[in-house]
């Protein structure tokens, strides 16, 4: 069964601290993996997208890693800010066309002052 699982379900950190979110997937055949940020009451916004051959990709303070062999990905947030409070969703795309996306349930991050 094609699934995307994320951990932890929720996380609270203090402003300025770093954190790492995890994603495991069983989607096959695999095309690419994305991380999205979803603010409350808003639609998801793309942070990174990685293909099979990419191990890491950064977008400002966000760095995503991908191990296609173990089917694991992580999203590392550096020097967190209050505005980082949101849900972070791992999304895996099927290979073979149609841009079909399988979403994880997300990790809800709260950054406290």
Partner 1 sequence: DTAVSQTPKYLVTQMGNDKSIKCEQNLGHDTMYWYKQDSKKFLKIMFSYNNKELIINETVPNRFSPKSPDKAHLNLHINSLELGDSAVYFCASSPTWGDGTEAFFGQGTRLTVV
Binding test (CB under 8 A) with partner 1, winner from 24, 31, 59, 78: 31
Q: What residues numbered 65-94 form the site for partner 1, per CB under 8 A? A: 87, 89, 93-94
Handedness of CA 79, 84, 90, 96 (dihedral sign): negative
Binding test (CB under 8 A) with partner 1, winner from 14, 53, 69, 97: 97
Closest alpha carbon to 83 in 34, 40, 54:
40
Quote the least distance from Cβ 21 to partner 1, whole Å.
14
Question: How many residues contact partner 1, by CB under 8 A?
Answer: 25
Binding mask 41-70 for partner 1 (x = CB under 8 A): xxxxxx--x-x-------------------
Nearer to partner 1, 13 or 101 (CB): 101
Closest alpha carbon to 82 in 52, 47, 53, 39:
39
Q: What is the DSSP letter of 95?
A: S
Quote the least distance from Cβ 15 to partner 1, whole Å.
24
Q: What is the DSSP letter of 16?
A: T
The contacts of residue 84 (CB under 8 Å, 6+ apart) are: 61, 77, 109, 111
Quote the least distance from Cβ 112 to partner 1, whole Å.
21
């Amino acid at each position: 069964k094609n699934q995307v699982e994320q951990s932890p379900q929720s996380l609270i950190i203090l402003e300025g601290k770093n954190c790492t979110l995890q994603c495991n997937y069983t989607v096959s055949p695999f095309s690419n993996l994305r991380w999205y940020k979803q603010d409350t009451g808003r639609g998801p916004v793309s942070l990174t997208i990685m293909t099979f051959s990419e191990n890491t990709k950064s977008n400002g303070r966000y760095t995503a890693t991908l191990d296609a062999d173990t089917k694991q990905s992580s999203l590392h947030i550096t020097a967190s800010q209050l505005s980082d409070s949101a849900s972070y969703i791992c999304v895996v795309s099927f290979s073979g066309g149609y841009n079909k996306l399988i979403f994880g349930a997300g990790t809800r991050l709260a950054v406290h002052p």
